[in-house]
Each structure stands twice: as C-alpha cells, then as structure tokens.
Structure 1
Amino acid sequence: MAAKSRKGSKSGKPQDIRNAKVHRDYHVEDTYEAGIALTGTEVKSIRAGKAQISEGFCRFHKGEFFINGLHIDEYAFGNINNHIPRRERKLLLKKSELRKIERALEAGGKTAIPTRMYFKEALIKVEIGICVGKKLFDKREDLKKKAQMRDIDREMKSVRAR
C-alpha cells in the first residue's frame, strides 16, 4: 500500500514566520518582497520553523541592502560547517526597489523592518516594511479600538443567539 501524501497536512507545510512587534510599535507605510541569500543549513532550519525575525532590522552597507538581527538556529543535524545563527544576510531586490527604499530611509524618521518570512514555492522570501515609529498615545488608541471591537463582537453574538 502506498504512503499517504502530506500535501494538505499542517505538518507537511512550513509556516510563515511573523514579526508580532511590527504592527504594535510601528505604522507600516509600504512593503516590499525580497529574496534572501542563505546557506543550505539555514534553509533547513527555517523549514523546521527555527527562526525569529522579531529583533530584525534592515540597512544599507556599501550600496547593498542587508538584514541584521535575524536569528536562525543552527541546524540540528548539521556538521562542523553549520552556519552562524546571527549574521548579516543580503537581501535581493531590484535596483529600482533599492532606490525607492533608500530614498524613503534618507528622508528621515523611517526604518526598514522585516514583517514576515515565508516560502514562495521553493524560495524563501522576506517581506520588508518601511515603518514609522508609533508614539505612546497611538498605541493607547489602538488598544481602545481593539477593546471596542471586542465589545461590538460580543454584543453581535448575544443578539444572534436570541
């Protein structure tokens, strides 16, 4: 008897790795999809879900765009040539996109932060957001809106149940 396919199962499909802090601490103005230069053991660790982008940030260095603060655990079955967990990794973008991002960052008050890392077919992509930091009162307003939406949802459910 043939083995069952894992195509539709949750364990067979790698999950997105998201940065939960971005929408709490920043206003995301624009997003870009970038490729990332990785080694083989890094890809295997990401497929296993062993990566964190919550402390990541992006910057230009000698005309190239790099991501820093991205943590990818060492591959469990790797050998002595395993990768370094925290290192600078090059982001792969078109020149026109690089120019747009560089102009936005030079304007001041903005930063480039990874919002999520995901698989697009066999490739690993990183979504980069051009962000502006939120003030304390902005965060409080967001919390008030969430509380109001929860109350509205509760009321709607109670009305439907009657």
Structure 2
Amino acid sequence: MARSLNLDVGKVVANLAQFRTKTGFFSRNSLWDSANSTHPVIWWQGLCTSQPLMPIASRILNGPPSSASSERNWSLHGLIHKSKRNRLSDKIQKLVAIHSNLVINEKQTFIYNARRVPLLEDTGRDYAVLSVHKDEAEIESESDAWSEDSNSDSDENIPLSALVK
C-alpha cells in the first residue's frame, strides 16, 4: 500500500516497527493514553500527522467495514466440505486458498486487460485477431454456475477443473 500512496517503503516499515515496539515517536505514554480516549482516525490524523505510517493507517481505518469476503470464504468452505467429504482436513484450506486466489487473479487479469482493450494479437498472417477477454459478468456467472453444480451431496471429489476455471 505504501507504493500505491507514493510513500518511502523503508520509512514506513521503520515507522511500523517503532509503532509496534513503542519506541521513537511512539514511546511517549501521553500518546498511548490519548489513544484510549480518542477515535482511531482522529488519533492518527491529529496526533501522528508527521509519521510515515499515518496515510496508511488513516486509509485503512477510513475503509468501510465489510464481512463480504469472510462470508464468501465460509460459503466456499461449505461447498467443498460436506458431510460426505468431511475427511479433507488440511486439504480444504488449500482448496479454498487456491480457489480464492484464482478468482482474485482472474479479476486482476480482467482489470489489466480492460485497460488494454482492444488488444490485437499478431497471428503471423495478413490480418490481426481481436483478443476477446472475459468480462466481470462472465467471471461471476461462471463462479455462480460452479456453485450451483457443487450443491449436490455426491460423494465425488471436487474436480480440479472446477477450481482452475
């Protein structure tokens, strides 16, 4: 996040270390006493303005709280881990992580490709072919279709192709 805010990463990491160990600027007891009685955003923006960590802390604290990502994660756990498939143990965490990362990667690829559309591929022929990329609606509908297919209580293993769409 420091890079996206054009901050010096080294200074931010050093400041984070000071914050976590309560050294340097963060060694003052009065600063920590005020943290207990002040709203976190006001604490960072009012008392810690000179600190390299402040823009990141402020941005994180100003973000809207949402449980959507955790709900999606539990939903995916439910799809993979059924009563007839309860012997997956550690494998379920790996399957959920793989699926979640693939969805994130697909969305990031979509965003990256959307910036480059129309993209013409060199085919070595006398003409170029317009590349067609999945749009976000297609990605979501494929994800929904996979969810509906996996709602059955069959004893079959989850096909790897379902996770690697």
Aligning the two structures, in what range does the TM-score lie when normalised by the shorter sequence?
under 0.3
Q: Which has the higher strand share?
A: 1
TM-score by length of 2: 0.21
Pick the structure with greater CA Rg. Answer: 2
Q: Whose relative contact order is higher, 1 or 2, with alpha carbons under 8 Å and at least 6 apart?
A: 1
